[in-house]
Amino acid sequence: MLHGSVFAFQQDKRRRNEFNRYLNIEINEASRSNLSASQLAMNNLKKTQERYDALSQHLETEFIQSLMFLASRLTLIHLQPYTLIRTLVEP
């Protein structure tokens, strides 16, 4: 349990550092550019959408990998893992 707490703390620290680095980049970009506030907002919106798309793709990949891991475990207890995955993934 302690290992999980340390890992969670390290992840949180990395996220804060990444956010602070991103914030500093944004502040520097805004101070150097002569863009209007609306242009900066549109640029930030576009960047945020790109990050969201990348994160969505990453989470989808992680989810599928988790399902495949579950399927491998279910195979050990003689269940039908691929039927389960099809049920969960297909609309």
Pick the more confident residue, 55 or 32.
Answer: 55
Give the residue numbers spanning the domain of 55: 48-91
The pTM of the whole model exceeds 0.75: no
The verdict on residue 58 lying in a domain is yes
Task: Dump pLDDT digits (tens) for 45-64.
Answer: 888 888 888 888 888 888 88
The verdict on residue 74 lying in a domain is yes
CB 42 within 8 A of CB 31: no
Which residues, including other chains, have CB under 8 Å from residue 71's CB and lie 6 or more apart?
81, 82, 84, 85
The verdict on residue 21 lying in a domain is no
Number of domains the chain contains: 1
Joined together, the tokens standing for residue 36 give 């209007």
| Low-confidence winner among 21-25, 62-66, 83-87 (lowest mean pLDDT) | 83-87
The verdict on residue 43 lying in a domain is no
Joined together, the tokens standing for residue 56 give 């969505």
